[in-house]
Amino acid sequence: MNLLSKSTCHKPSPYRPNEPWTLQQALIYTIGMFIDKSITVNEWTTELDPMYSTLSALKRNKMVHYAIYDCFAATCLIRPITLYWTFQQVTKINILDSFQALPLSSRPNDGNNYDDEITVNQCIKITLNNDMLYEEISNGDNELSKALPPRDNDLRVNNHSMVDDDKNNDQSDWIVTSWLSFEKKVALDSFSMDPRFTDEAKVFAQLITSLQSSSNAVTPESLRTFFEDLCAKANEKLIGTFNGNLQEKHVMTNSADIPINVHTPANANKDKLVVYFHGGAWIYGSRRTHQTIVNLLADATKSIWISVEYRLGPEYKYPIWYNDACDVTQYIMENKESFGVDRTAKVGVAGDSAGAMISASVCQTVKDIDFQILVYGWYDFTCATPSFKEFTNQQYFIAPEMIDWCIKNAFNDGFDINDSRISVFRNTSLEKLPQTLLIVAELDPFRDDSYTYKELLDKAGVKNKLVLIKGVLHRFFPLPGVYPKACAQAIDAIREFMASIS
């Protein structure tokens, strides 16, 4: 048996529910429960059994070591156990050999022997078979305690058991809430992260963690607030850097007054105009959350970009937001000179995530669109591509339950997943579509939708290009303050694509 051996867990994996863990994952999870700045050895041993509150510090420390071993055994080795907390067992297990003693300077000078102590805010190195599994609990400035699971009864060793007996737990709601960071914290230490994460992706994960809320309610309103805060915090250093003019206007459609922002860069060319639809699962996001990235796009391409505040679910479910997008695009195309471009200017649509799906759908309905720029869009509601199965882990921040929750809030019950207006794979007239740029995030459940769409466009003879941004997650695009390199790569691709259009 080695570190990559698989075994079923008593405790459901917080990273991959209902899937086997490797021994390494189980050990990391077990150890992680004990390494928390707010937990002391005394507290742990007292919680395990109050009678041990009278033990010496050294014996209490050894009890914690044994608790770690037994949690690991119960979690990983499927060992049904009855814990007999005897020091004979502690000495036989020799678990202490797996811990590197702390430096002398870190130990209190009170006469006790702390050679084996697991303390707070200290550097701990845990090794197994000479493989370094964990290294980095350094000081009060570290972020680990923010990322570890909370100290609630279903995640701590209580009454000598790691088994969660709450059979009535609604795992779907738990995961949705966990992803939104409103109830439970997502574990985001270096061992849970996909090794393909770029440094920028890791910063993004830390930022998500730092913005967690204590609210138990998951609502569209709370998600909107969370995303507004995320984008504001991520892009705060880029606010006010746009070299151009930003003007709000309104488009009166048959059913609503739709606000738009017109981003006009200095020395703007008059030969192209782009209509942009923000992402946010048709539930959240706004012109404000995407203002920074649209500013950068306008400045880089020296073209006018118009950001649309289409209405959102659940207040306005499909097809309302879809109709808003079509109506606004049609109006802009018919009145493009009033937005500062020539009568012969090329007009394209663009968007990220849900906005990319909207853009692709608009191209099927509104005639004479000249190009489309689609950033990690979702193009087929059957969710049949391999990437939907590959990226179910919470570290990617889009659990399947979250996708279902968004659909529930954006669409009416019983909507047709084969409707070609929303599942663009079902379009039987792809040859009529304009030239297309597809930008893809590598670590994204929706990744393979873009590859499949490219194949369909190739077969239909539609000129297209796909650019893969490696090591990044879904939602990177509106966060250039956190993803400067990834966004620069995407913006360069967009600039080159638009320059090729004549």
227-499: CATH number: 3.40.50.1820
Q: Is there a contact between 58 and 42 (Cβ–Cβ < 8 Å)?
A: no
pLDDT band at 213, cuts 50/70/90? low
Q: CA distances (Å), 346 to each of 21, 211, 375, 469, in order?
A: 53, 41, 20, 27
pTM above 0.75, yes or no: no
Average pLDDT over residues 427-449: 96
Report residue 126 as tokens: 């845990």
Band of residue 209 on the pLDDT scale cut at 50, 70, 90: confident
> Above 70 in pLDDT, residue 134?
no
Per-residue pLDDT at 365: 95
Percent of the chain with pLDDT over 70: 61
Q: Which two tokens stand for residue 494?
A: 């967009």
Across 33-56, average pLDDT: 48
- Residue 55: predicted pLDDT: 57
Stretch (H or E) spanning 294: helix 291-301
pLDDT digits (tens, 9 = 90+) for 347-358: 999 999 999 999
Domain boundaries, the chain: 6-169, 227-499
Distance CA 328, CA 266 (A): 25
What are the DSSP E strand ranges found in 301-415? 304-308, 346-352, 371-375
| Average pLDDT rounded to a whole number, residues 136-155 | 32
Least confident of 74-78, 139-143, 253-257: 139-143
> In terms of Cα–Cα distance, which of 200, 173, 197, 175 is closest to 185?
175
